[in-house]
Amino acid sequence: MIVKVSVDNSLKKYFMHQAFLEAYRALGTTGKNPNVGCVLVKNNFVIGRARTSPGGRPHAEENLISQMSKKELKGSSLFVTLEPCAHKGVNGISCADLISKSGIKEIYVSNLDPDLRTSGKGFEVLRKSRINVYPNFLINEGFNYNIGYFKNFSSNRPLVTLKFAISLDGKIALKNKKSKWISSKLSRNFGHMLRAQSDGIMTTSTTVKDDNPKLTCRLNGLEKYSPLKIIVDRELQLNDSFSIFKNSNSTKLIVYHNSNNKSKIKNYPQNADLVYIKNKKNFLLFILKDLSNRKIKNLLIESGATFGSEMIKANLIDQIAFFRSDKIIGNDGLPFVKNLNLKTMSNSLNMKLIDFKIFDKDIYELRRF
């Protein structure tokens, strides 16, 4: 006797969560492409899983199909975080075409691809091949795994995350600007993970001069995922003696400036791409637009309160990652946000809690505007 097992909704949600985990594992590694995850299910078991390859190709679905046998694929269900592409890759075939020819019988997709080469067209190809398509499955949760990619399409700028190690009383450094170390080693390691998951990391000339940071990811095995370094240095005050220039991998780093003093340009190393922004008023917005054009989807900012506050006031910060330690520094320490000159409580800025974790004696909080 053949027992027909129906996959109930909670099980389907579990499978899509497995696909989300795959997408999360690829965050920060896929270049200009979205980080997509997928799992293949048969008889209520996950029989295969894959994600977008480093650099963005092959896509997740191609990676998955290539590791399965014809027999395994026949009659299976695919759970994928983003609509399969309808545009052809280097192999001359799109993921929608690959799936159509694979024997997969149904597909659950979390989000529509905003890329016009695919948007809706991937679903069309699949439906024409008589595959049952279930779009918008856990759409809101799925959105979070590719939020920077979607932001680039909707607002022509990256998702911007400000990162602060703060004391229990909300300070980022002592009065004398010393800040090593406010947070625990475990927190700092996760900070490096955030770097690896970002496409770009931005800081200021002031923080470079004060802290001389390297801004690389120094977790074993993840060094190669160090993000593109970006420095806001309006008056071209830096020079190649700072560590940030020395520890750059082969990729360039970008310096945004507003200086007409061309003689200072020679102080910068060859791999620094000096970008002059004429418009002083919209300087910060122009930086984000330029980064979006360079396909930076997720931008991490590690600066002090002056720059962070300017970005917040310009409505250019989407979320803040706080590493709150157990130390009390006192009111003479440097705050993470400067004066906002609010007159009523209703004008205060509110940040939703998105995620929290405990790292040793610290609490990590991700909050979003």
Q: Is residue 299 at the binding interface for ligand NAP, with CB under 6 A as the rule?
A: no
The correct pick among 100, 205, 248, 298 for binding ligand NAP (CB under 6 A) is 205
The correct pick among 61, 115, 211, 318 for binding ligand NAP (CB under 6 A) is 211
* Residue of 22, 61, 62, 302 marked catalytic: 61
Q: Is residue 201 at the binding interface for ligand NAP, with CB under 6 A as the rule?
A: no
Residue nearest ligand NAP by beta-carbon distance: 304
Residue spans of alpha helices (H) in 250-335: 283-293, 305-313
Which amino acid, one-letter code, is at 255?
A: V
Span of 19-27, 73-81, 230-238, 263-271 interacting with ligand NAP by CB under 6 A: 230-238
Annotation marks residue 61 as catalytic:
yes
Q: Is residue 249 at the binding interface for ligand NAP, with CB under 6 A as the rule?
A: no
| Helix (H) or strand (E) run with residue 14 in it | helix 9-25
CB 303 within 8 A of CB 204: yes
Span of 1-9, 43-51, 104-112, 204-212 interacting with ligand NAP by CB under 6 A: 204-212
Q: Is residue 202 at the binding interface for ligand NAP, with CB under 6 A as the rule?
A: no
Span of 14-22, 68-76, 135-143, 299-307 interacting with ligand NAP by CB under 6 A: 299-307
CA-nearest of 360, 293, 333, 368 to 143 is 368
Rounded to a whole number of angstroms, the minimum distance from the CB of residue 179 to ligand NAP is 4
Say how many CA atoms lie within 13 Å of 32 toward its Cβ.
7
Q: Is residue 204 at the binding interface for ligand NAP, with CB under 6 A as the rule?
A: yes
Q: Is residue 214 at the binding interface for ligand NAP, with CB under 6 A as the rule?
A: no
> 109 or 316: whose CB is closer to ligand NAP?
316
Bridge partners, residue 59, by sequence:
none
CB 82 within 8 A of CB 110: yes
CB 167 within 8 A of CB 264: no
Q: Give the list of residues 6+ apart from residue 53 with CB closer than 8 angstroms, or none.
A: 30, 59, 63
Which amino acid, one-letter code, is at 143?
A: F
Q: Is residue 283 at the binding interface for ligand NAP, with CB under 6 A as the rule?
A: yes
Neighbours of 140 (CB within 10 A): 9
Q: Is residue 302 at the binding interface for ligand NAP, with CB under 6 A as the rule?
A: yes
Q: Is residue 340 helix, strand or coil?
A: coil
CB 275 within 8 A of CB 257: yes
Rounded to a whole number of angstroms, the minimum distance from the CB of residue 313 to ligand NAP is 8
For ligand NAP, the binding residues (CB under 6 A) are 164-165, 172-173, 177, 179, 182, 204-207, 210-211, 232, 234-235, 283-284, 302-308, 310
Active site residue ranges? 61
